[in-house]
C-alpha cells in the first residue's frame, strides 16, 4: 500500500429531512455545534416544518451516543458517557405540535459548566424528537385507512472548546478480504481503515477508482460519506464484482474538504476467478 497527499477542494453539505406519504416533516439543522468557554450559556435554534396534511406532535429526550468501528451509531443512557454534554442542554419546550403547513422554532441552550477543564475535549449528545400521537384514520371510498405514521428525528449536539487540534484523517489499512456472500450475490470485498487524528468531529468522502491495468477500463463506483468523532478509527468496505479477471489498480481517495489534504491509498490486485 502506498500513501501520499495532495490538495483538493470539496464542499460538504449536511441536511436532515424525514418525508412521509410523499409529503413530509423536516428538521433543520441536523447538527448543532456550540463553541464557548466554561461558564457561558450558548443558544441556537432548530426549525420544524410540516408540509404534510396532518398535525404532528413530538416529545423530546436526550441520549449519549458514539460510533462503532463500522461507523454505526450506538446509543447510551443520558450522561453515562465521559464525552456527554446531555446535562448542559435545556430546551424552550420539551413537547411540540406542528400543524399542517406550519413552521415552528425550538430554542436549544447549552450552559458550559464553570471550571470545566477544556483539555477534556469535544463533547456530544443526541437530541431526539419522537412522535407521541397517532394520526386519525382517513376515510377513502367509504373505507377507513389507518394513517399512523411514527417518526423519530435526531439532532446531533456538539460542544467544541477553543484551541482543539484539527488534525488530519489518515489511512491505516487497505485489506483484501476475498470473496464474501452478500444479499446481491458473491463479491470481492476490501476493508479500508481510517483514523481521525484530530480532536474535532470530521466529515469526509471516500471515493474509489479501480482500473484494469491491461485495458485502462475503469469501474464506476459510488463514493461513500463518512463522519468520524475525535481519535476514532473506522472501517469502510469496497465491494467489487466476483468475476473480474486480470490485474487491477485500486485507489481509495479520502477527502475531508478544502481545509485538509487529500489522502490517497493504492493497492494492486490480481483477479483469477
Residue ranges per structural domain of the chain: 17-159, 166-271
Among 46, 48, 42, 122, which residue's Cα sits nearest to residue 89?
Answer: 42
Mean pLDDT (the chain) is 86
* Range from 6-20, 32-46, 61-75, 136-150 carrying the lowest mean pLDDT: 6-20
Grid cell 407521541 in the structure block, residue? 132
Instruction: Output the nine-digit C-alpha cell for 256.
Output: 475531508
Q: Measured between alpha carbons, how far is 95 from 264 in angstroms, rounded to an integer?
A: 47
According to the model, what pLDDT value does residue 138 have?
53
- In this prediction, residues 84-107 reach a mean pLDDT of 96
Report the relative pairing of strands 152-159 and 31-34 from DSSP bridges: parallel
Q: Which fold has domain 17-159?
A: Immunoglobulin-like (2.60.40)
Cβ-count burial 84-97 (b if 16+ within 10 Å, e if not): bbbebbebeeeebe
Backbone angles phi, psi at 120, to 5 degrees: -70, -15
Confidence of residue 17 (pLDDT cuts 50, 70, 90): very low
- In this prediction, residues 127-141 reach a mean pLDDT of 69
Is pLDDT larger for residue 118 or for residue 245?
A: 245
pLDDT tens-digit profile of 169-206?
Answer: 999 999 999 999 988 899 999 999 999 999 999 999 99
Instruction: Output the nine-digit C-alpha cell for 90.
Output: 435545556
**What contacts 159, CB < 8 A, 6 or more positions away?**
34, 35, 36, 85, 88, 110, 112, 122, 123, 124
- In this prediction, residues 229-239 reach a mean pLDDT of 96
Query: Would you say residue 260 has pLDDT above 50?
Result: yes
- SS3 letters for the chain? CEEEEEECCCCCCCCCEECCCCCCEEEECCEEEECCCCCCEEEEEEEEEECCCCCEEEEEEEEEEEECCCCCEEEECCCCCCCECHHHEEECCCEEEECCCCEEEEEEEEECCCCCCHHHCCEEEEEEEEECCCCCCEEECCEEECCCCCCEEEEEEEECCCCCCCCCEEEEEEEEEEEEEEECEEEEEEEEEEEECCCCCEEEEEEEEEEECCCCCEECCCCEEEEECCCCEEEEEEEEECCCCEEEEEEEEEECCCCCEEEEEEEEEEECC
According to the model, what pLDDT value does residue 118 have?
78
Query: Would you say residue 101 has pLDDT above 70?
Result: yes
In CATH terms, the superfamily for domain 166-271 is Immunoglobulins (2.60.40.10)
Confidence of residue 4 (pLDDT cuts 50, 70, 90): very low
Structural contact between residues 210 and 240, judged by C-beta atoms closer than 8 angstroms: yes
Q: Measured between alpha carbons, how far is 16 from 45 in angstroms, rounded to an integer?
A: 15
Amino acid at each position: 500500500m502506498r500513501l501520499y497527499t495532495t490538495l483538493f477542494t470539496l464542499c460538504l453539505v449536511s441536511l436532515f429531512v424525514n418525508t412521509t406519504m410523499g409529503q413530509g416533516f423536516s428538521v433543520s439543522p441536523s447538527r448543532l455545534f456550540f463553541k464557548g468557554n466554561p461558564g457561558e450559556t450558548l443558544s441556537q435554534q432548530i426549525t420544524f416544518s410540516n408540509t404534510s396534511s396532518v398535525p404532528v406532535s413530538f416529545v423530546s429526550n436526550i441520549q449519549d451516543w458514539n460510533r462503532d468501528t463500522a461507523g454505526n451509531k450506538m446509543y447510551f443512557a443520558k450522561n453515562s458517557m465521559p464525552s456527554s454534554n446531555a446535562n448542559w442542554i435545556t430546551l424552550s419546550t420539551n413537547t411540540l405540535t406542528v400543524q399542517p403547513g406550519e413552521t415552528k422554532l425550538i430554542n436549544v441552550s447549552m450552559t458550559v459548566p464553570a471550571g470545566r477543564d477544556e483539555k477534556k475535549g469535544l463533547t456530544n449528545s443526541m437530541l431526539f424528537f419522537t412522535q407521541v400521537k397517532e394520526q386519525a384514520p382517513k376515510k377513502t371510498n367509504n373505507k377507513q385507512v389507518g394513517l399512523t405514521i411514527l417518526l423519530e428525528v435526531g439532532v446531533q449536539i456538539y460542544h467544541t472548546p477553543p484551541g482543539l487540534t484539527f488534525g488530519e484523517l489518515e489511512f491505516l489499512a487497505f485489506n483484501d478480504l476475498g470473496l464474501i456472500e452478500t444479499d446481491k450475490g458473491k463479491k470481492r470485498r476490501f476493508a479500508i481503515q481510517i483514523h481521525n487524528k484530530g480532536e474535532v468531529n470530521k466529515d469526509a468522502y471516500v471515493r474509489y477508482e479501480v482500473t484494469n491495468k491491461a485495458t485502462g477500463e475503469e469501474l464506476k463506483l459510488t463514493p461513500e460519506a463518512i463522519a468520524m468523532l475525535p481519535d476514532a478509527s473506522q472501517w469502510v468496505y469496497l465491494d467489487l464484482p466476483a468475476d473480474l479477471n486480470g490485474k487491477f489498480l485500486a485507489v481509495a481517495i479520502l477527502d475531508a474538504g478544502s481545509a485538509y489534504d487529500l489522502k490517497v491509498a493504492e493497492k494492486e490486485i490480481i483477479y483469477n476467478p
